[in-house]
Chain A
Amino acid sequence: MDLHVVDALATPTERAAVDAVLDPEIGAVRGGWDGGLRDMALDGRAAHGGHEARSRRDLLLPALHALNDRIGWISRPGLGYICRRLTVPPAEAYGVATFYALLSTVKRPPAVAHVCDDMACRMAGAEDVCRDLERELGPAGDPTPGTGATWLRSPCLGLCERAPAVLFTIAGDPPLRAAVGPVDAPEIVRRLNNDGAGDTRASAQNGNGETAPSDERLASLRRSIPQAGGPGLRLLARVGRIDPTSLVDFLATDGYAALRKAIDLGPRRVVEEVTIAEVLGRGGAGFPAGRKWAAAAASTGLPKYIVCNADEAEPGTFKDRAILEEDPFSLVEAMTIAGFATGAEKGYLYIRGEYPLGEARMANAIDLARDAGYLGADVMGAGFAFDIEIRRGGGAYIAGEGTALFESIEGKRAEPRNKAARSTTAGLFQRPTAVNNVETLVNIPGIILGGGTEYATLGTAKSTGHKLFSVSGHVERPGVYESEFGITIHDLIELAGGVPGGRAIKAVNLGGAAGVFVGPDALHMPLTFEDAKEAGATLGAGAVVVFDETTDLLDILRRIAQFFRDESCGQCVPCRVGTVRQEELLARLMAGQPRGSIADELDLLNDLGGVLRDASICGLGMTANDALSSGLRLQGVLA
């Protein structure tokens, strides 16, 4: 494993960008072997390295982000410099850099518009936006002459309620990132030409950049979270009522009351309450959080970790974003409770790279909490330590898979592991780890304050508590909705204002790309884990995408097939090849050129689905066929 990169040395700009991330963690450059200038007096006769240097491999992705943020791409000299400083072979680091869609290993302009063309945005005219951009700026990825800008297509940005959406990434010092919607092509061009700058930052998705509660802000917020400020909310209770950047506001609304009570109860009782509450994981798998915490608490290995999975990349899913942006302290508090209950002193919050505002709000909340003694060596003076580090994803859907997320934090390609051991025994860094979804965690303070027994009375017997739903597509008021478990699809759609123009519903997608399509006959289905299972459907993470009778569902299915082809990590053959074959099949159907009869094609798709389900390592491959199969079965899709 050769560590040499023979290219030119990194520029001072590239080095400074990388050093800004690495120096606070591993100290400044020591000498030539460490990436600095060669000094024979220092470097000629002895050097330290090895495990000490390699021990911070987990800083690889942050360093790559820093370089990409600063100059817009991963230059080879810049990559070489990172490798020197972290003792990572360039071939491995290159493998990591090429894994993440937001990082570019080919030179590209500093200003990039990532245009979402996924389900909701597609229905809102994303293809028109792309066509116009192609006319204005040239083909996707090509630098526009003179402007230093380009545009790219993107999978779901998690801004479905404001479709069509775009994520601007503008490299520089400081770099700028902002997700915006709805937009059209002229608006995108205008912002790119203005270098995006302050303009883009101010138009971050919720409101006008002001954070203090106001009628104006509440109105703006309700475009994303229509129930904001309303009654009966447990998970969204603070949204619109507090300034999400203010710890004072948080404390004034029962903030940290749950942690205080948890400390009084002690770790064992906390785990008991969570277990009694029977709260199931909200990330899609529905695993009982209490069992996970109990297993992590019982694991003897140290250190232990809490990981919050905020890599919300399932198409059509954006409910965690509401929490990250509007009630960040409650997630900090919940993670701290998890650390206290399981004996972990370190938490990682892994946020997808497409959520710049959520990341900024979380970073602010963590800093303020630490300054006020709610994080750190002695949390609330209670004698236990806990702190949180944010890790930014790089644009990889698969990183949301629990073990792939561990790999990503560890500085590797986000490829799922073979599940030889439970993560509560050997998770992040092969240590005991409790990994929970954002929404799962923000249920915890309520459970602690009200008690697990009270919580278990909410919802249904097997799906307790409240649930956040991401409702998008053909509804009057798309957005994040909170409801007790048990609301029917129909009632949820009504809550979102129903279908515009009173048009008929052709299909509803539950759970996003990894979910399924159901037809109008299923609208009476209560949205619970058990009812979905009984109907052969899934809740996933609570995405509900509504398609009216005018929708070209085949086009949507083709986009989903393309999504899986793009997002398959490629390490196992059934998924790597199967997702390609599926997309080819969909393309043939769309072109009206089935191989053999349509029935033959459906047989083939069914066959592919069996292989994907049986032989893939992880959930991505196992579910990559479900939406396609269920969608094609619906009446009227294959005329």
Chain B
Amino acid sequence: MRRGARLIAIDPRRTSSAEWADLWLGLDVGSDIALANAMGREIIAAGLANEGFIARATSGFEAYRDKVEPYTLEYAERETGVPAAAIREAAHAYATADTALLCWTLGITEHHNAVDNVLALISLALLTGHIGKWGSGINPLRGQNNVQGGGDMGALPDRLPGFQHVENDALRAPFDRAWGVAVPQDRGWHLSAMFDAMDRGDLKALYVIGENPIQSEADRHRTERILRGLDFMVVQDIFLTATAEVADVVLPAAAAWAESEGTVTNSERRVQRVRKALEPPDGARDDLWIVLELARRMGHDWGTPSAEAVWNELRGLSSAHAGMSYARLEAEDGLHWPCYDETHPGEPFLHSRLWADPVVGSRAPFVPVDHAPPVDRLDGEFPMRLTTGRRLDSYNTGVQTGPLRFPGRKGETLDLCPEDIERYDLAEGEVVRIVSRRGEVEAPVRADHSLRPGLAFMTMHFQDDVAVNNLTIDATDPKSGTAEFKATAIRIEKLGASPRPEREAGQPARSLRP
């Protein structure tokens, strides 16, 4: 940006990033598709679509055009709250830029229609040709250094290592051969489906590695009840998390970034080496050691392969990783997959094939989608929209950042705009009750100019003190399984205005902090 790149921030809140933006669109929570479709319609109507690219590299344009036709700027202004002129400006800026990138995070994906939100954005990239070339593309910014790598290595219910589909016989066969077993042919459950299965009693034992679902899942009451109802739960973590505290067995693990050898893969598909710098504390073990030892005690001696040996096994099974030796990863500062052999340079642009003429492989499909507002509707009883997110100095449920002290950290607050604080006759610091259709919490009020009337904000960093996920809805996206953390209907009650209900059982105040 210092070199002139322009930034458009689309966010219900005027965040610090939005303040740096050339244009900010403060849309209503959950109106992303209305906005994206209106941008698409405007781009088409203004003759700014990249017709050559659409004709050569995409399919389904006509259906998309018909789908977005009703999404006029005026309609979008009504649905999103953003002035039509600002939407038009954003559409024109995006379409006419030489290169343009769409980046998003959980504001797009923590919705009941998360995949549709992403598809609406992909359509914009296809419409303008801002994909598969230098300086352009679509990019979900990862919240952790190895989200991409976890998925690539098969930590998904339908994927084998190398992002290879488990239900594809041809892709599965090499694994059968290499491992000498028959890999199950059917996809497993994603996280939300696993909880449903546990709720039904179909899933009775759980092995949790590096995750703290009791505090990170929506609707904490339900999560905790389900986990406590399991026959058996193992938690493997570097901290004794709230989830670990209710586990039957806890396996203390070494930190993956400083106490282990291995690789991570970042958002741009670049595989990078991670090196061990420290010995883990007494009793903590490398994840690899733990898994191997579990296997051994279950009767399968896999030997004691090094991290590099495991990686080389992957290279033998995933053609996309075949060319990435440790030596090359070291020498070339990481490599982008796919990297098919030791002479392959890696592929910085995943979709560059779309610019070949003719296109290599299948055309990129437009997938038309419709706007569907958040499940948790606002009404007279629950008139405020609560959206949750992160603050700069904390990380997710606070397991990793809670014990560290930051001078600016303020603890959990209900952030409201000054106008709402005045409207509800509140004072900064005043503790209020926040009630949703699922639960309630208490938190002090904080003024935040980045909000507007009717929009409240809380984090999920301080779940021990304020269990914000008591409030959130577990309406999940059927395709991704992600819950709609971003849109909760709430009301705010002054304390003392009504008798305070007793705390529900199973919700002890816990603190892991020293």
Q: Which residues of A contact B27 (CB under 8 A)?
A: 45
| Inter-subunit contact B23/A50 (CB<8 Å) | yes
* Interface assignment of B270: CB less than 8 Å from any CB of chain A: no
- One of A1-9, A178-186, A343-351 contacting the partner: A1-9
Contact residues on A (Cβ < 8 Å of other chain), bracket: 10 to 19
| Inter-subunit contact A46/B20 (CB<8 Å) | no
Given the interface contacts A33-B14, A51-B6, does A46 sit within 8 Å of B25 by beta carbon?
Answer: yes
A219–B485 Cα distance when bound, in Å, is 82
* Interface assignment of A12: CB less than 8 Å from any CB of chain B: no
- One of B50-58, B78-86, B108-116, B136-144 contacting the partner: B78-86
| Inter-subunit contact A50/B25 (CB<8 Å) | no
Which residue of B16, B24, B81, B418 has the most chain A CB atoms within 10 A of its CB atom?
A: B24
| Inter-subunit contact A50/B26 (CB<8 Å) | no
Given the interface contacts A38-B449, A51-B4, does A45 sit within 8 Å of B86 by beta carbon?
Answer: yes
Given the interface contacts A4-B449, A51-B6, does A44 sit within 8 Å of B16 by beta carbon?
Answer: no
A2–B20 Cα distance when bound, in Å, is 9
| Inter-subunit contact B16/A1 (CB<8 Å) | yes
* Interface assignment of B22: CB less than 8 Å from any CB of chain A: yes
Q: Which residues of A contact B6 (CB under 8 A)?
A: 50-51
Q: Which residues of A contact B1 (CB under 8 A)?
A: 50-51
Q: Which residues of B contact A87 (CB under 8 A)?
A: 19-20
Which residues, 577 to 621 on A, are CB-close (under 8 Å) to B?
none
**B55-86 Cβ-contact flags toward A at 8 Å (1 or 0):** 00000000000000000000000000111001
A52–B453 Cα distance when bound, in Å, is 28
**A94-134 Cβ-contact flags toward B at 8 Å (1 or 0):** 00000000000000000000000000000000000000000
A38–B23 Cα distance when bound, in Å, is 18
* Interface assignment of A32: CB less than 8 Å from any CB of chain B: yes
Which residue of A1, A49, A52 has the most chain B CB atoms within 10 A of its CB atom?
A: A49
| Inter-subunit contact B21/A49 (CB<8 Å) | yes
Which residues, 1 to 40 on B, are CB-close (under 8 Å) to A?
1, 4, 6-7, 14, 16, 18-27
Q: Which residues of B contact A45 (CB under 8 A)?
A: 25-27, 81-83, 86, 452
Of the candidates A32, A40, A44, A50, the one whose C-beta lies within 8 Å of that of B20 is: A50
Given the interface contacts A32-B449, A38-B418, A40-B452, does A47 sit within 8 Å of B4 by beta carbon?
Answer: no
| Inter-subunit contact B7/A50 (CB<8 Å) | yes
Q: A366 → chain B, closest Cβ, in Å?
A: 31
A32–B14 Cα distance when bound, in Å, is 12
Given the interface contacts A1-B16, A32-B449, does A51 sit within 8 Å of B22 by beta carbon?
Answer: yes
Contact residues on B (Cβ < 8 Å of other chain), bracket: 20 to 34
Of the candidates B22, B419, B449, B452, the one whose C-beta lies within 8 Å of that of A50 is: B22
Of the candidates A2, A3, A46, the one whose C-beta lies within 8 Å of that of B24 is: A46
Grouping DSSP codes into helix (H, G, I), strand (E, B) and loop, the B interface class, with mixed when no group exceeds half, is loop
Q: Which residues of A contact B23 (CB under 8 A)?
A: 46-50
Q: Which residues of B contact A38 (CB under 8 A)?
A: 418-419, 449
A32–B26 Cα distance when bound, in Å, is 14
Given the interface contacts A33-B14, A40-B419, does A49 sit within 8 Å of B20 by beta carbon?
Answer: yes
**A52-67 Cβ-contact flags toward B at 8 Å (1 or 0):** 1000000000000000
Q: A114 → chain B, closest Cβ, in Å?
A: 35
A52–B26 Cα distance when bound, in Å, is 19
| Inter-subunit contact B21/A50 (CB<8 Å) | yes
Q: Which residues of B contact A52 (CB under 8 A)?
A: 22
A45–B82 Cα distance when bound, in Å, is 5
Residue of A nearest to B83 (CB): A46
Q: B413 → chain A, closest Cβ, in Å?
A: 14
A3–B1 Cα distance when bound, in Å, is 16
| Inter-subunit contact A46/B452 (CB<8 Å) | no
Q: A92 → chain B, closest Cβ, in Å?
A: 13
Q: B310 → chain A, closest Cβ, in Å?
A: 41
Q: Which residues of B contact A3 (CB under 8 A)?
A: 16, 19-20
A48–B6 Cα distance when bound, in Å, is 11
Q: Which residues of A contact B20 (CB under 8 A)?
A: 1, 3, 49-50, 87
Q: B85 → chain A, closest Cβ, in Å?
A: 8
A292–B25 Cα distance when bound, in Å, is 48
Q: B181 → chain A, closest Cβ, in Å?
A: 53
Which residues, 560 to 579 on A, are CB-close (under 8 Å) to B?
none
**B233-266 Cβ-contact flags toward A at 8 Å (1 or 0):** 0000000000000000000000000000000000
Q: A410 → chain B, closest Cβ, in Å?
A: 12
| Inter-subunit contact B26/A44 (CB<8 Å) | yes
Residue of A nearest to B82 (CB): A45
Which residue of A2, A40, A46 has the most chain B CB atoms within 10 A of its CB atom?
A: A46
Q: A238 → chain B, closest Cβ, in Å?
A: 45
Q: Which residues of B contact A33 (CB under 8 A)?
A: 14, 19
Which residues, 361 to 384 on B, are CB-close (under 8 Å) to A?
none
A51–B452 Cα distance when bound, in Å, is 24
A40–B419 Cα distance when bound, in Å, is 9
**A61-88 Cβ-contact flags toward B at 8 Å (1 or 0):** 0000000000000000000000000010
Q: A48 → chain B, closest Cβ, in Å?
A: 6
A87–B14 Cα distance when bound, in Å, is 14
| Inter-subunit contact B449/A47 (CB<8 Å) | no
A427–B135 Cα distance when bound, in Å, is 28
Which residue of B14, B21, B26, B449 has the most chain A CB atoms within 10 A of its CB atom?
A: B14
Residue of A nearest to B7 (CB): A50
A48–B1 Cα distance when bound, in Å, is 15
A622–B363 Cα distance when bound, in Å, is 63
| Inter-subunit contact B26/A49 (CB<8 Å) | no
Residue of A nearest to B19 (CB): A3
A127–B418 Cα distance when bound, in Å, is 55
A87–B22 Cα distance when bound, in Å, is 11
Q: Which residues of A contact B22 (CB under 8 A)?
A: 48-52
A400–B82 Cα distance when bound, in Å, is 49
A33–B452 Cα distance when bound, in Å, is 13
Residue of A nearest to B81 (CB): A45
Q: Which residues of B contact A46 (CB under 8 A)?
A: 23-26, 82-83, 86
Residue of B nearest to A46 (CB): B86
Residue of A nearest to B24 (CB): A47
Q: Which residues of A contact B392 (CB under 8 A)?
A: 2
A3–B449 Cα distance when bound, in Å, is 11
A38–B452 Cα distance when bound, in Å, is 11
A38–B451 Cα distance when bound, in Å, is 12
A33–B20 Cα distance when bound, in Å, is 11
Q: Which residues of B contact A48 (CB under 8 A)?
A: 22-24
Q: B301 → chain A, closest Cβ, in Å?
A: 54
Q: A431 → chain B, closest Cβ, in Å?
A: 14
Given the interface contacts A38-B418, A40-B452, does A49 sit within 8 Å of B86 by beta carbon?
Answer: no
Q: B246 → chain A, closest Cβ, in Å?
A: 37
Residue of A nearest to B90 (CB): A46
Residue of A nearest to B451 (CB): A44
Q: Which residues of A contact B419 (CB under 8 A)?
A: 38, 40
A311–B202 Cα distance when bound, in Å, is 80
Residue of B nearest to A51 (CB): B22
A50–B86 Cα distance when bound, in Å, is 15
Q: Which residues of A contact B449 (CB under 8 A)?
A: 4, 32, 38
Q: A71 → chain B, closest Cβ, in Å?
A: 25
A49–B453 Cα distance when bound, in Å, is 22
Of the candidates B18, B19, B418, B452, the one whose C-beta lies within 8 Å of that of A44 is: B452
A40–B453 Cα distance when bound, in Å, is 8
A405–B14 Cα distance when bound, in Å, is 35
Which residues, 2 to 41 on A, are CB-close (under 8 Å) to B?
2-4, 32-33, 38, 40
**B130-173 Cβ-contact flags toward A at 8 Å (1 or 0):** 00000000000000000000000000000000000000000000
Question: Known contacts A32-B449, A44-B453, A50-B20; can you find 9 more A-B pairs with CB under 8 A?
Answer: A38-B419, A38-B449, A44-B452, A45-B25, A45-B83, A49-B24, A50-B1, A50-B22, A50-B23
The 3 A-B residue pairs whose C-beta atoms are closest, nearest first, are: A50-B22, A46-B86, A44-B452
Listed A/B pairs (27) with beta-carbon separation below 8 Å: A1-B20, A3-B16, A3-B19, A4-B16, A4-B449, A33-B19, A38-B418, A40-B419, A44-B452, A45-B25, A45-B26, A45-B452, A46-B82, A47-B26, A48-B22, A48-B24, A49-B19, A49-B22, A49-B23, A50-B6, A50-B21, A50-B22, A50-B23, A51-B1, A51-B6, A51-B22, A52-B22
